[in-house]
Structure 1
Amino acid sequence: MRSYIIKPKSVKKSEIIKNDYIFSASRHNNIQINSNFDYLVNLIKISKKSVSLTNQKKYFNYVEIGSINTTTGYIEPTLKKSIDISTDSVFQLEKDDILISTVRTYLGGIGIINQKDQYLVASKALIVLRELKKDINKYYLFGILRTGFFIEQTNLILNASMYPRMDKDSFDKLKIPFPTNTNHQNPEKVENHISNIVQNIIDKEEQIKLKNKQIDELIEKELKEKQKAGSFSYRYPKISEIREETRLDTGLYERNFKEIDFLIRNYEGGIFQIPLDKFKSGSTPKVRVFDPQNKKYKWVTPTLITDQGNYQPSATINMDSKNNLSKDCILIINRTSKGKKGEYVGITCFYEVNSFGLGQHNQGLYQIKDYSKFEKLFIICLLNSKLYRKLCGCISIGSKMKEMKSLDFAFLKFPNFPDSKQKEIVNLYYKSLEKNKNLNIENYLEIEKIRNRKLGIFQLNLEIFSLQEQLETLVHKIVSEEYIEIDFAY
């Protein structure tokens, strides 16, 4: 991992006074920077446009700290009633607003709004950057803010506490680098190239969201249109049913669960279940080194799998024991503190060894590998759908840490869709294409967007990480004043 921190060998008394008598070592470190830079405070204004929620009786698309994906910067608002938002005032948001989390900056809590919505609002724990002060590309600026170079800078100025906070008055200390003639004979081309990469990442995220929605619609439509005779009727549970289930701390008796369960059991194509012996637990090796220089295995935990079921291959591990990821498999989150009702338990990803390499997953995940690749992909699509998020939420147990045991997953029923419908669903999740050729600055984004619409979710996620690595390399070369060749391959 690259580091841009310059640690001084000594600190003058005058510098301690200048830093408000703060003795924290990080406050006296410096950051490596090129000859062409400006301070963030000179580039963009903070928006404080607010909306009062007092006496409001509306639904809002609410963005809070956890709405920003810290790995990709993608923002997923939550639809909430005004009464359910625990504050009297929120920020009004507009398309292309850049949001910086005051408490997750050091983790990468920086995102950009990519939609128009008059009811889109944000928590005041977020800093909203809107109006540019100088003639610069906002996507270039966002790209810089999303890199390790910027994140490392914020660590030098965060107010120390249990939850380090970003102070909006510190923007005069944060440096934004710009390309020079040393990087390229036409520095503006480098800026445009970075802007294009950032917009390509955003478009891929939007396509993932769209394809997940299409999968949900296909599953629900197939189930509802092909029901056997009979209709759903809800009844309160009998004592005999509770004795059979042997559980009171559950949503198994709720109307919502019963209705979805009936929809699946009553499907005319029949159902299938995953046998208990197919589920294999993971482990954390007793002897291990995380993120070693010699990156031997990928490290997989629930926190590295997004809410949409996409694995983020950002951590590695070395160990002296045998690894447990050597074949393509399904990985299912079996416990998480996320959510209120367990709706994030059971989120599933596809681990493809050819794409990620050998790996090791911990005990927070179950592994299933004894199915064909196509069958694995179809199961993943079902488990990540909205219907199965609700089912898993009802089945899961626990208070703060929601959990499902292998026995609970084996209890789940899956509809046996015809092959043609399974293929239609799986193609939205997994579909690869040749990379585009003959790209240039002018046509790059248009042609990439056309290809993005045809790719599967799995491939889109892989390419997002390739583009992020490319972005990190470009910014590193700008800061180090190295020559940059405009290369569209990733």
Structure 2
Amino acid sequence: MRYIQIPTTITYKDLVEKCSLSPSSYKTITFNNKNVKKIRELLSEKPQKGEEVGSFSYVSKSNFYFIRTKALQTSCFLPVLNDVEYAVPILPMVFKDFKLRKGDILISKDANIGETAYLNEDLPNFMISGGIVKLRFPEDIKYYVFAFMKSEFFRNQIDLMVSRGATIRHAKTLWLDAEIPFPNQQNKEEIVKFVTLLTKAIIRKEAEICLKDDRIVNLIENELKNNQSPRKYQYSYPTINELQNSNRLDTSLFCEDFREKDFKISNYSYGYSTITQLNFEISRGQNLQVSCIGKSIYKDTKNNNYYALFLPTHITRYGTIEKIIYLGNPLNLKTLKKGDIIFGAEGFKKGRSILITDDLKRTVTNIHGIILHHKDNNFLLSVFVRCFLNYLRDEKIIDYLAVGGQGGSLAQRYWDALKIPNFPGDKQKEIAKHYYTPVTYDSNKLNLNNFEQEDIRITDLDGILQLD
């Protein structure tokens, strides 16, 4: 926002040209560097706009997918394609091949205007919605340009170009006039290379996070599948005793899908345990209401004297945190310890979890977060349990157990219904390393020549938490 200038006065000529009395119509972007080029001047090919298919074309399963504008998110360099809310399966006959390939950049011109994403792989079975435009830039500048398109500086430009007032705003082709600044000093090639390397590193790490998350799921699936007791699954309707014990009729616990997935865990040859049997203590996070802790100060910038607030709504599906809020309060609040797990227990994002490591000090969560603390401080077990809880979320088991509307809630009294298989220690370690494996390196020895090679090495070895 520091580049936005608001004039103190306007001329009659300005008023006639704009035909607007809204103060926002007269805001401008001002910066010193005049070595700029518009997006339209940098493109190597004509932009390609997507098409709509209509919700009647949505299906539950398909080999063809429709990318919606919400797949392009501020916190991600890559589009979110592993959720049917963002990439919807569609009927094959409505699919149109947009020849989406690695290196393409997508920009949203509707709704979340100005959001962009980089395609890190060819997507022959995906098409883009009418609110998305495919862009292609020359190879030598595409990472540099994309870095600026992901910045607040770029989105501020788009924001000022698009008129306000409508429920859904449309940028049409106005974004083509957004400007990208280029360095104009003697070492300008080095600056472009430096920004390019950093951008490629972020993209590389996001892709590796997705890959390691898939590895965790596959390891869990294979361990369960390959170590089943001889007993075979057969669905049966609930008995009177089961209904009485559950004390619930409005539940999915008796549906075939839940019972089959639950059987796969309970039939594991080494057995299973509940969270409490594994010696975890279950509690709620800190109540942050004024009536409980008094007034607090909330900031987006880091302050060493403030608490780091991890909100469950800011936990990603990969077990990372996309935003940290810093909370100033004079009281001794309930802080988290190494090995603690924050589990989002409420709402549409329930089931997302993150592990607290020794790198985080003075960290708290709110009352909507469940805290799992291992009484014997078994860090490896905590890492494994966090990974398996995420697997249960992906399998919709958390949704089946939840109660209530607005996404539901997994109350503490239902935690004993969660089954954690007793994987051997070696298997737990193999799973855990993909989520938490710190790798040491000497940043002082990094330079433009060896950065990419060293970053590739570290990215391959690091766990998900370290890659974030």
TM-score range, shorter chain: 0.7 to 0.9
CA distance in 2, matches of 1:262, 1:55: 34
Tell me whether 1:397 sits opposite 2:400 in the alignment.
Answer: no
User: How far apart are the structure 1 equivalents of 2:425 and 2:364?
Assistant: 32
Residue 470 of structure 1 is matched in structure 2 by none
Q: Which residue number corresponds to residue 12 of structure 2?
A: 13
> Helix, strand or coil for the counterpart of 2:13?
helix
Residue aligning to 1:165 = 169
Take 2:223 and 2:386, find their aligned partners in 1: how far apart are those partners? 17
Q: Which residue of 2 aligns with 1:152?
A: 156
Q: Secondary structure at the match of 2:127?
A: strand
RMSD (Å), alpha carbons: 2.9
In the alignment, does 2:191 pair up with 1:190? Answer: yes
Please point out which of 102, 118, 125 is paired with 1:119. Answer: 125
Alignment CA distance shift 1:27-1:321 (3 Å): farther
Amino acid at match of 1:97: D
Of residues 380, 383, 389 in structure 2, which corresponds to 1:374?
380
Q: Retained in 2: the 8 A contact 1:105–1:166?
A: no
Deviation for aligned residue 1:458: 0.7
2:297 to 282, 289, 293: 289
Provide structure 2 residue ranges, at least 5 long, that are not aligned to the other structure.
none
Give the 3 Å change call, closer, same or farther, for CA 243–171 of structure 1 in structure 2.
same
Q: Offset of 1:330 from its aligned partner? A: 0.5
Residue 312 of structure 1 corresponds to 322
Distance 1:332 1:326 in 2: 12
CA distance in 2, matches of 1:439, 1:36: 29
Q: Structure 1 vs Structure 2: percent identity of aligned residues?
A: 25
Shift of 1:73: 2.6
Match of 1:480 in 2: none
Contact 1:382 1:388 in 2 (8 A): no
How many Å apart are 1:15 and its aligned residue? 2.0
Structure 1's 56 and 389: CA in aligned 2 closer, same or farther, altered over 3 A?
closer
1:26 aligns with: 24
Quickly say closer, same or farther: Cα 1:55–1:205, change in 2 above 3 A.
closer
Tell me the TM-score normalised to structure 1 length.
Answer: 0.82
Map 1:31-50; keep pairs closer than 5 Å.
31-33=29-31, 34-44=33-43, 45-48=46-49, 50=51
Aligned with residue 410 of structure 1, among 402, 406, 416:
416
Instruction: Tell me the alpha carbon deviations over residues 20-55 of structure 1, each in whole angstroms, 9 at most, x when there is no partner.
Output: x23332221222321211222322342126586899
Decide whether aligned partners of structure 1 residues 319 and 146 sit closer, same or farther in structure 2, where only a CA change above 3 A counts. same
Per the alignment, do residues 367 and 52 of structure 1 end up closer, same or farther by CA in structure 2, a change over 3 Å counting? closer
Distance across 1 between alignment mates of 2:142 and 2:394: 39
Report if the CA contact (8 A) 2:336-2:356 is conserved: no
Residues 314 and 89 of structure 1: CA distance in aligned 2, closer, same or farther (over 3 Å): farther
Structure 1: tracts of 5 or more residues without a match: 338-343, 462-490
Q: What are the Cα deviations for residues 438-480 of structure 1, in whole angstroms up to 9, with x where unaligned?
A: 444344323312221111111001xxxxxxxxxxxxxxxxxxx
Q: Give the equivalent residue in structure 1 for 2:141.
A: 137
Give me the whole-angstrom Cα distance separating, in 1, the residues matched to 2:226 and 2:300.
Answer: 52
Q: Structure 2 CA distance, aligned partners of 1:152 and 1:396? A: 40
More deviation, 318-327/170-179 = 318-327
Change (3 A) 1:423 1:195: same
Instruction: Describe the shift of the 1:105–1:37 C-alpha distance in structure 2 as closer, same or farther (beyond 3 A).
Output: farther
Contact map agreement 1:264 1:413 (CA 8 A) in 2: yes
Q: Distance in 2 between matches of 1:297 and 1:23?
A: 43
State how far apart, in whole Å, the 2-side matches of 1:136 and 1:347 are: 38
Tell me the distance in 2 between the aligned counterparts of 1:304 and 1:56. 29
Hey, what does 1:272 align to over in structure 2?
273
Would you say the 8 A contact 2:103–2:136 is kept in 1?
A: no
2: distance between equivalents of 1:12 and 1:158?
22
Q: How does 1:58-73 map to 2 (within 5 A)?
A: 59-73=63-77
- Distance of aligned partners of 1:178 and 1:317 in 2 relative to their CA distance in 1, 3 Å threshold: same
Shift of 1:277: 5.2
Q: Distance in 2 between matches of 1:415 and 1:172?
A: 54
Match of 1:485 in 2: none
Q: Could you tell me how far 1:162 is from its partner in structure 2?
A: 6.4
State the match for 2:103 in structure 1: 96
CA distance in 2, matches of 1:207, 1:220: 20
Q: Which has the higher contact order (CA 8 A, sep 6+)?
A: 1
TM normalised by structure 2 equals 0.86
Q: Answer yes or no: is the 8 Å Cα contact 1:349–1:380 preserved in 2.
A: yes
Q: CA deviation at 1:230?
A: 1.0
Q: 1:3 to 1:303 in 2, by over 3 A?
A: farther
Shift of 1:163: 4.5
Q: Deviations over 1:420-450 (max 9, x none)?
A: 1111111111001122664443443233122
**Which of these residues, 439, 456, 462, is aligned with residue 455 of structure 1?**
462
Q: Equivalent residue of 1:349, what SS?
A: strand
Q: Secondary structure at the match of 1:402?
A: coil
2:451 aligned residue:
444
Identify the residue that residue 89 of structure 2 maps to in structure 1.
81
Instruction: Give the superposition deviation at 1:104.
Output: 5.5
What does residue 202 of structure 2 align with? 201
Deviation at 1:89, TM superposition (A): 7.4
User: What letter is aligned with 2:9?
Assistant: S
Partner of 2:346: 335
Letter in 1 for 2:195: I
Which whole-Å deviations, capped at 9, do the CAs of 1:197-253 have from their partners, x for residues lacking one?
111111111111111111111111111222223111111223332222122222211
* Structure 2 letter corresponding to 1:265: S
